[in-house]
Structure 1
């Protein structure tokens, strides 16, 4: 008997979405339903025209599942709320959205981050590690290079060379992306952070750095979410933890070292190729892999890269040359502006370089995303309706 294909509706037409369309078209159990875009259709060459639509209702009608990978917090929040109104499950590859509005959205319907980006890959690695009896201490990301305030000329070069948007390349380079990823991991996997902005230990080897972070977690008394700056490390994720003393000899025989800390790695993250695994997970009715959780403990604040002036406009915070993202504890910085909310935001007063932007510093654009954020930190959840 022929199995019915899962109809997947995709938001976005960038690198991830285009790759996902191609991957689904090669999968016999899946099919592309529609691809939602805000761009002019004639300007899109990497996705077949018959999939493209500007209409959210056409996009959702007849779909089995939605994959949100637009990279846009505000638009993504609106689309997900519409999908939930149709009782559709949603998979994201949009950590920016998850740490900004994901806590509210997670209470409205089935919402999970996908494998393929570092947070989803870490969640899958943790699931596997715990099943084998490991007790996680460090949920770790690996970065080879960071420049907290890169020049626009540098970023334009790497954007063109890698075929990625200028904003995306900038957010990778200035550390915003890793801060967002590890905030999602902390909230979703029940870990803490040991310092604002994370430790980000520079290490000559993954093993040395992982052990240093494990020692920090042991001293702190809780599992932590953090990253290593390790140019020799693989482009993936790692988990460092402990195991039962009775297994020490076996783990040494398995080339895991003498302990007490053991590091498991996934030395790759294959983005859109791995989303297929999460789509199938959802279709099988399995539990959420990862989301920001109903009660987040950390957020990602906007920190000024330079002096910002009154009436200056921030078109978009993530990937800008005005601000970068930094993980903060919500109870320590209750008035911070989440970097994901900054869209056409207007400065009300001067903000000095290196300062966290607060609610008193900017006028935010009204949107479902801003309403969802305030609802998730103590407001009225009904304010987040579209």
Structure 2
């Protein structure tokens, strides 16, 4: 859906741009109504040879990683609509070439709102997502029904419904914009009034002493957008209240939509015009997305997929607290080495992971974090008043 809509957008509204090729893994003769079907190719080489920039929107961690590395070898910049990839291999890739998530999906929309807030003098405290519906363990029958009704895949529908996608989205925002989390799995507050909930979240950020990412579950107002909870200068308080944002000290800035593929063109133009990265997972992430078992499973049980599957869901976590967790983006066609219980966070000791370039990257980043971790004696010997942080 993202590729189809993006291509139609460029064809109709961006006369100075052209789609050179569209990479697919499906047989080329299986497409009937794809726009610009003559540009379809199964060759990564053909994709990159004719391009000035790559838009990677497969939603696939493994395939996307291979495509991006090939694009970097060709000296190309890459725009992604693939938060799943960003939180799995994106930090490594961000150190190898120009990589940015696009505006349109919630992470890019939050990053754009962040830029606007800074230009107006606001200090962001909370980066918020809106979640229309949450069921940690939906049934296959329900997911098949909603997937057909919404016109998207069952895997996508499941990852949206069980909360995995919102956890992934908020982790890339936290890593990219320097925010943390208040707890594993985020708060996910129910909200009937976003301003009141924003005030509560702002107080939580002040107590935490740093910005954090989270989401709300709206009731009584539309979901689907993003928001920031911010502070501003005290001398601006009267003016801001006159501008209808309330008396402060916390102000909630709302972007009530995210239009996915219709907004990707803005980021493409930004990059082609020499603009900076809008958002990526950063080269030094502090957050990850672990795999939480939805039910009891026995040793030897096959795991078809993590993101969008019925065995696991994703939860945001702090990397320094869970160095052995398996990123949920790595779970694909593998098997458990030992039994797990419902609610258990899966580690590398629990599961066999199929060899892949994505696994190599994750293991390399894991080894580098362990090597760079601050030894315990460094904390003990730190001068009074100094905080020693694990990278």
**Is TM > 0.5 for Structure 1 vs Structure 2?**
yes
Whether the aligned pair in 2 keeps the contact of 1:206 and 1:233 (CA below 8 Å) is no
Q: Is the 8 A contact 1:102 1:292 kept in 2?
A: yes
The residue aligned with 1:122 is: 110
Q: Secondary structure at the match of 1:218?
A: helix
Which stretch of structure 1 is more off in the superposition, 371-380 or 232-241? 371-380
Structure 1: 5+ residue runs without aligned partners? 1-14, 381-386
d(CA) in 1 for partners of 2:297 and 2:96? 37
2:8 paired residue among 14, 22, 26: 22
> Which residue is 1:9 aligned to?
none
Name which of 36, 51, 61 aligns with 2:23. 36
Q: Aligned with 2:100: secondary structure?
A: strand
Match of 1:146 in 2: 134
In the TM superposition, what are the counterparts of 1:63-142 in structure 2 within 5 Å?
63-142=51-130
Could you tell me how far apart the structure 1 residues matched to 2:237 and 2:213 are? 25
1:379 and 1:75 mapped to 2: Cα distance?
Answer: 24
**What residue in structure 2 maps to residue 355 of structure 1?**
344
Question: Which residue of structure 2 aligns with residue 5 of structure 1?
Answer: none
> Gapped runs of 5+ residues in structure 2?
370-391
Report the alpha carbon displacement of residue 379 of structure 1 after superposing the two structures with TM: 4.6
Q: Residue 235 of structure 1: SS of its match in structure 2?
A: coil
Does the 8 Å CA contact 1:115/1:121 hold for their aligned counterparts? yes
Q: Give, in angstroms, the shift of residue 368 of structure 1.
A: 1.0
After TM superposition, where is structure 1 displaced by more than 4 Å over at least 4 residues in a row? none
Deviations 1:123-170 (A, max 9, x none): 000001011100000000011210000001000000000000000000
1:312 corresponds to: 301
Aligned to 2:181: 193
Secondary structure of the equivalent of 2:334? strand
Of 340, 343, 355, the residue aligned with 2:329 is 340
Q: How far is the alpha carbon of 1:46 from its aligned partner?
A: 2.5
**CA distance in structure 2 between the partners assigned to 1:33 and 1:228 by the alignment:** 40
Q: Is the 8 A contact 1:147 1:175 kept in 2?
A: yes
C-alpha separation in 2, matches of 1:264 and 1:114: 20
Deviation at 1:114, TM superposition (A): 0.2
Q: Which residue of 1 aligns with 2:273?
A: 284
State the shift of 1:213 in Å.
Answer: 1.2
Given that 1:56 and 1:79 are in contact with CA atoms closer than 8 Å, whether structure 2 keeps it comes out as yes
Paired with 1:119 and 1:312, the residues of 2 have a C-alpha distance of 34
Tell me how far apart the structure 1 counterparts of residues 61 and 332 of structure 2 sit (CA, whole Å): 9
1:314-350 residue CA offsets vs partner (Å, 9 max, x unmatched): 1221000010000010011111110001111211111
RMSD: 1.1
- The alignment covers a number of residue pairs equal to 366
TM-score of the pair, normalised by structure 2: 0.92
| C-alpha contact (below 8 Å) 1:176/1:325 kept by paired residues | yes
CA contact (8 A) 1:205 1:233 kept: no
Confirm or deny: 8 A CA contact 2:21 2:50 kept in the other structure: no
Q: CA deviation at 1:86?
A: 0.3
2:169 to 156, 177, 181: 181
Structure 1 stretch displaced more, 314-323 or 40-49: 40-49
1:146 & 1:376 partners in 2: Cα distance? 32
In 1, Cα distance between the equivalents of 2:35 and 2:361? 31
Decide whether aligned partners of structure 1 residues 49 and 233 sit closer, same or farther in structure 2, where only a CA change above 3 A counts: closer
1:202 and 2:195 correspond: no
CA distance in 2, matches of 1:304, 1:342: 12
Residue 205 of structure 2 is matched in structure 1 by 217
Partner of 1:383: none
Contact map agreement 1:101 1:373 (CA 8 A) in 2: yes
Deviation per CA, 1:93-118: give whole Å up to 9, x if none: 00000000000000000000000000
CA distance in 2: counterparts of 1:377 and 1:224, whole angstroms = 23
